[in-house]
Every structure is written in structure tokens, then in C-alpha cells.
């Protein structure tokens, strides 16, 4: 048992995970949240008679959530979820349509039927993705890359022995082009770079392990929507005695003689033994630690993509759509060049369309659907977002209307819009980047900030902008790594 007093800045996934683990270990934990609600990007809102999960919409590795709930004595039965038979529906500009079935043999047959690709080619690719994941996740995802003990473990040795098969020195695009060849299939698997906001034409081929999460382990849906994850983790934290201080924005992390002493908010000053920042690493240094030398090289790393999201209440149902849907651009390389090279809006964006009412009927009125419509864009550096949003809305409506054969604009009952400026203001994500740093070079994993401070004892960091990265599974692992460090 431990008895530290711990403050966590932010109630995102990593902050909640760290809080649950530390409280279960006997620490006194308080979470300071600037907003009136928990969850960071993983929150919800209602728009007329429609309900929307505002942020992350893909649920993988449910055992990471169940493990946290079990620490609070909450059973799996209290977190109902289902495994999807169809992971995603894909729409191409030439009329090709593919369903990514969760059953790999059925998916391989789908690819053979639609693209005339031998099933063996796809199954070999998926086997390689599994191999990469199982040999590298224990090192790059589940442990600190900044502690010498990590490199002395059996898991690391296993990973090092696998290096010849990890394709460390080529890009995702290069491997996919070589191994898959068929253009639709190459584009299909290049998309997985967007799972951490990166560019497949630059990102290392090691990231071709990501498809294993979906196509090997599976995709899932919490029966009460993605907000169920946040609600359940908050309930677990509260059951363990974690205190939540909403509407209390931290203004400074306090320290003396290279030791944490507490933190300061507009309301009060608090004493703590340990402070964990679940805030983006850039504002953590710039705003909360102005008197500490910032790691400029790490803070200057290329940021991940951001997004423009339209939340539309649609007065119609579409049988050809499912929970997850992708409408590809005709020129993927040009789209990524705009996002990461020229940092401009691309006129033919790939569209991600999520419809939770497909599995949670009360998210929309009868005969209607709640559309979460997202395109990737560069992070905010002062662009004319109002102009870009207007152009994006036109482009998205034209593309969806053309491919679905129905004019979408007249079906929109209500609308909300999220852009990088709002993402940044609501979540403190630097520039509105969705995943912290991009992974557009082979050293990216080592260029994320460590989960602890090398300058101030008792100061730690978790969340999407530090190791191991962004996305729900990585953030939950980030919270675990930090909790193990704090003890």
C-alpha cells in the first residue's frame, strides 16, 4: 500500500486510468478538470433529439477498460459491449465497395471477390501485422522507453530478435505497395496511419501492425455509446475515493528545490506530493511550468493531423451504411501532401462517417440517423478556418450525395461543427492535434516526452502527447505506465 497525495491535471483517458490505479494502490487522488464534464475528447452532447459522442468513436482492446473497472470491483457485466461483425464499410470513387468483416476468412473472401486478390496475400499480410504487434507492443506501448529496466526485460529481447521482420527502414506505403500491389487494397491499409494522425507515405512500416487491432482482435461497441467508457471509468474512480474538481483550471504546477509541492488554480493553492499532467505536453510546459527549462526539441516535433467534424441530425436511414464508414479520396498521396507538407485544405478529402444510432437506436429519432462526419486537416497554425469549413462542407456534401445517390443537404435537421481551434480550446491539445506528435519518421516513438520529469521529482506526464501516444488504448497504457512509476 502507498499513501501519496496525488493531483492529476485533466480527466482524459490517461488521467482516469492513472487515477484508478493509484487510488486502488492506496493513494489519495484528486483530479482537476477545467471543463464541467470528464473525459477530455471522449465526451457527448445532445443536439435536438439526436445524441453524439463528440470525439473518439473506435473501440478496440476492451480488456484495457475491464481491467480498470475490476480494480474497483466492477464486473464485466456492468460494462455491456458487443463485438462487431462488420468493422467498417469502405467506398471508393470508382464505385468499389468493401466490407471489412471481423472474420478474417470472410474478409479475405470479400477482398478476393471485390478486388480479385488471392486470399493468401491478405492472410499473410494480417499474419505479419499480428507478428509485429505481439513482438513490439510490450516495448513500444506497454512499457516506458525511458527506463533502462525496460531494455533488460525478456519482452524487449524478444522484440529485438524480431527486428529483421519489422520493416524498420521503409514506409507504410512502400511495404503495402510491395506486399499488396492492388491499388484499392494499398489505400485500404495505408489508412491505418491515420489511427495516430500520421502520413503513410512517411510513417514507418512498423505501423502496419495497427490493422491487427481491428482485423485480428476485433472492433467493439459499448452498448450505451462511447460515452459509456468515460462514465464507467469515472464511476470506478469515484468508488475508489478519487475526488473530482470540475470547473477548476490549473494555472501553475508548484515546486521547490526540484521537488513537487503542489499546484495552483484560480480558486486555491493545494499541497501534493505528486502531480501528474494529463494536459498536452506543450501547454504543460508553456503555461503550467514557465520557470522550468522546456525540452524544445521534443516540443518542436511534427504534430499529428487534426479534424473538421460535422455533427448532423439526418432525417433518413441508409441501409448501405454501418457504424463505421470511409469514403476515400481519389488521390490519397495528394491528400496527405496537403495535410502534412503544404498544410492546406484538400478539395477531395477522405470522409469518415460514424453513425452510432445503427447500434444504439435512441441516439436518433425513428427513421433518422446521427452522422458524425470527419475529415483530416492540418493542426491549427492560424489558418482561415471559417473559409476552410465552408469549403469542406460543400466538398463533403457533394461527395456523400454523389456516392450515396441521395442529396444529403435537405436531410440535415440540425448541425454542429468542431474544428482545430475548438479542439484546442476545449481539450488543450496543442494546435488541436488529435494524437500529439505525428509518427512520420522511424524514430518517432523515441521522440515523445517521457512519462516523468527528469528535472522535478514527483512530476509525471500521461496522455496522447507523451509516451506511448494518442488514441484510447495508448492513453490507457500511458496511465498505467505512470501509475507504476508513482507506486
Residues of the chain with pLDDT under 70: 1-2, 139-168, 445-446
DSSP per residue over 391-439, as a string?
A: HHHHHHHHHHHHHHTS--GGGEEEEEEE-HHHHHHHH--GGG-SSSB--
- State how far the Cα of 326 lies from the Cα of 56, in Å rounded to an integer: 15
Quick one: how far is CA 95 from the chain centroid?
A: 29
What integer pLDDT is reported at residue 140 of this predicted model? 64
What integer pLDDT is reported at residue 139 of this predicted model? 66
* Structural domain spans, the chain: 5-46+56-76+224-301+443-486, 122-217, 305-378+381-418
pTM: 0.94
Give buried/exposed letters for 170-209 (b at 16+ CB in 10 A, else e): ebbbebbbebbebebbbbbbbbbbbbbbbbbbbbbbbbbb
Give buried/exposed letters for 120-151 (b at 16+ CB in 10 A, else e): ebbeebbebbbebbebbbbbbbebbbbeeebe
- Exposed/middle/buried for 459, CB within 10 Å: 0-12, 13-18, 19+? buried
β 274-277/259-265 pair status: unpaired
Q: Check: CB of residue 14 under 8 Å from CB of residue 56.
A: no
Alpha-carbon distance values, 26 to 22, 29, 236 (Å): 7, 9, 14
Nearest Cα to Cα of residue 134 among 155, 152, 154, 148 = 155
- Mean pLDDT, the chain, whole residue set: 93
C-beta atoms surrounding 82 within 10 Å: 10
Q: What are phi and psi of 435, to 5 degrees?
A: -130, 25
What integer pLDDT is reported at residue 441 of this predicted model? 83
- State how far the Cα of 83 lies from the Cα of 219, in Å rounded to an integer: 6
Contacts (Cβ under 8 Å, ≥6 apart) of 348: 329, 330, 331, 335, 395, 399
113-165 pLDDT, tens per residue? 999 999 999 999 999 999 999 988 876 666 555 554 544 456 555 555 555 56
> What percent of the chain is predicted at pLDDT more than 70?
93
CATH of domain 5-46+56-76+224-301+443-486: 3.50.50.60
Q: Check: CB of residue 246 under 8 Å from CB of residue 238.
A: no
What integer pLDDT is reported at residue 152 of this predicted model? 46
Determine the angle formed by the axes of helices 13-24 and 63-71, rounding to 10 degrees. 40
- State how far the Cα of 308 lies from the Cα of 204, in Å rounded to an integer: 26
What integer pLDDT is reported at residue 3 of this predicted model? 87
What integer pLDDT is reported at residue 260 of this predicted model? 98
Q: Check: CB of residue 109 under 8 Å from CB of residue 272.
A: no
Amino acid at each position: 500500500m502507498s499513501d501519496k497525495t496525488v493531483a492529476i491535471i485533466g480527466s482524459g483517458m490517461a488521467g482516469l486510468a492513472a487515477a484508478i490505479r493509484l487510488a486502488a494502490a492506496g493513494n489519495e487522488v484528486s483530479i482537476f478538470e477545467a471543463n464541467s464534464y470528464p473525459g477530455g475528447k471522449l465526451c457527448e452532447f445532445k443536439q435536438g433529439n439526436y445524441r453524439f459522442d463528440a470525439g473518439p468513436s473506435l473501440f478496440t482492446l476492451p480488456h484495457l477498460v475491464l481491467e480498470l473497472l475490476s480494480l474497483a470491483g466492477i464486473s464485466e457485466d456492468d460494462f455491456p459491449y458487443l463485438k462487431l461483425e462488420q468493422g467498417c464499410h469502405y467506398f471508393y470513387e470508382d464505385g468499389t465497395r468493401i466490407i471489412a468483416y471481423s472474420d478474417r476468412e470472410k474478409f479475405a473472401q470479400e477482398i478476393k471477390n471485390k478486388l480479385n486478390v488471392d486470399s493468401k496475400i491478405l492472410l499473410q499480410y494480417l499474419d505479419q501485422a499480428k507478428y509485429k504487434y505481439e513482438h513490439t507492443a510490450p516495448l513500444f506501448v506497454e512499457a516506458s522507453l525511458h527506463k533502462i529496466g525496460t531494455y533488460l526485460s525478456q519482452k524487449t529481447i524478444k522484440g529485438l530478435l524480431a527486428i529483421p521482420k519489422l520493416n524498420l527502414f521503409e514506409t507504410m506505403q512502400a511495404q503495402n505497395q510491395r506486399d499488396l500491389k492492388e491499388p484499392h487494397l494499398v489505400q485500404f491499409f495505408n489508412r491505418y496511419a491515420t489511427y495516430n494522425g500520421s502520413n503513410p507515405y512517411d510513417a514507418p512500416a512498423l505501423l502496419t501492425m495497427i490493422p491487427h487491432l481491428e482485423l485480428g482482435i476485433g472492433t467493439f461497441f459499448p452498448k450505451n455509446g462511447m460515452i459509456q467508457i468515460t462514465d464507467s471509468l469515472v464511476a470506478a474512480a469515484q468508488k475508489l475515493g478519487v475526488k473530482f474538481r470540475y470547473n477548476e483550471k490549473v494555472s501553475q504546477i508548484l515546486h521547490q528545490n526540484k521537488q513537487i509541492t503542489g499546484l495552483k488554480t484560480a480558486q486555491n493553492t493545494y499541497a501534493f506530493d505528486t502531480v501528474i499532467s494529463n494536459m498536452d505536453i506543450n501547454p504543460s510546459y508553456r503555461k503550467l511550468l514557465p520557470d522550468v527549462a522546456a525540452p524544445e526539441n521534443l516540443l518542436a516535433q511534427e504534430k499529428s493531423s487534426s479534424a473538421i467534424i460535422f455533427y448532423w441530425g439526418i432525417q433518413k436511414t441508409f441501409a448501405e451504411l454501418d457504424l463505421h464508414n470511409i469514403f476515400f479520396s481519389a488521390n490519397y498521396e495528394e491528400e496527405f501532401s496537403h495535410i502534412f507538407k503544404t498544410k492546406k485544405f484538400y478539395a477531395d478529402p477522405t470522409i469518415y462517417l460514424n453513425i452510432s444510432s445503427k447500434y444504439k437506436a435512441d441516439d436518433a429519432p425513428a427513421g433518422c440517423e446521427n452522422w458524425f462526419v470527419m475529415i483530416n486537416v492540418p493542426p491549427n497554425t492560424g489558418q482561415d478556418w471559417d473559409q476552410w469549413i465552408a469549403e469542406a462542407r460543400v466538398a463533403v456534401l457533394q461527395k456523400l450525395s454523389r456516392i450515396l445517390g441521395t442529396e444529403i443537404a435537405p436531410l440535415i435537421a440540425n448541425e454542429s461543427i468542431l474544428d482545430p481551434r475548438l479542439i484546442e480550446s476545449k481539450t488543450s491539445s496543442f494546435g488541436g492535434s488529435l494524437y500529439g506528435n505525428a509518427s512520420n519518421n522511424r524514430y518517432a516513438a523515441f521522440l515523445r516526452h517521457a512519462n516523468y520529469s527528469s528535472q522535478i521529482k514527483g512530476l509525471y506526464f500521461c496522455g496522447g502527447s507523451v509516451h506511448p501516444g494518442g488514441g484510447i488504448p495508448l492513453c490507457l497504457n500511458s496511465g498505467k505506465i505512470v501509475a507504476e512509476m508513482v507506486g
